[in-house]
Amino acid sequence: QVTLRESGPALVKSTQTLTLTCTFSGFSLTTGGVGVSWIRQPPGKALEWLALIDWDDNQYYTTSLKTRLTISKDTSKNQVVLTMTNMDPVDTATYYCARTRTTPHWYLDHWGQGTLITVSS
Amino acid sequence: SYELTQEPSLSVSPGQTASITCSGDKLGNKYAAWYQKKPGQSPVLVIFQDAERPSGIPERFSGSNSGNTATLTISGTQVVDEADYFCQAWDSSTVFFGGGTKLTVL
């Protein structure tokens, strides 16, 4: 059974750095064709993909936020960490992590419950 | 950047067929996936690789993708299918989502 769970601070202040941790089970990030993505959804808006780290430690980022994001993994702990610098109130959203299959195309087959991050000014 | 466009809303009666479309430049040359999102819940993958259903997804959900348009079809729509639906594609090592379609079943 694949499960993912996001953890992080519920509230951050403007200009601070957000650190989110995704703890997963039921799969390994050493298996080919597998990765973990981060996605967010601001209230009332669409889903926005942020980043992916794959089994081979390749990292991919959405172009618009690339300079603010860092994704990393700890295979021994079954964790993926996302940091986002210089937080702003517009970054207020529910943040999800999701297992991502990268063959034959990238799609997200299991999602965490999400964590609401509020950024205060 | 790659843009995916969905109609903001669609309303159907129970038992009818709901067709939700997603448009993008040469989308038919890429694979599309679809997600169902209900309020307060996480997104659920309902279609991947254009037309494949994950295990546990009812057969009434089907997908197609050709030309510039991918379509999610829900046959015999049920009240429980009321949700937001997002299409997704992959291009240049980036995941793109459509803006979402709010499906109302009443």
Q: How many CB atoms lie within 10 A of CB A99?
A: 24
Q: Which residue of B has its CA nearest to A53?
A: B93
Q: How many CB atoms lie within 10 A of CB B35?
A: 27
Q: Tens digit of pLDDT for each residue in A75-87?
A: 999 999 999 999 9
How far, in Å, CA of A49 to CA of A69, rounded?
12
How far, in Å, CA of B4 to CA of B69, rounded?
9
CA-nearest of A118, A120, A88, A102 to A8 is: A118
* Matching residue, tokens 């997104």: B43
CA-nearest of B100, B6, B72 to A42 is: B100
Asked if A119 has any chain B CB less than 8 Å from its own CB, the reply is no
Partners of A113 on chain B (C-beta within 8 Å) are 42
Q: What is the pLDDT of residue A82?
A: 98
How far, in Å, CA of A17 to CA of B47, rounded?
35
Task: Tell me the pLDDT of chain B (106 aa) as tens digits.
Answer: 899 999 999 999 999 999 999 999 999 999 999 999 999 999 999 999 999 999 999 999 999 999 999 999 999 999 999 999 999 999 899 999 999 999 999 9
**Partner-chain contact A109 B48, CB within 8 Å:** yes
Instruction: Give backbone dihedrals phi and psi of B21, rounded to 5 degrees, phi first.
Output: -110, 155
| Residue A4 DSSP one-character state | E
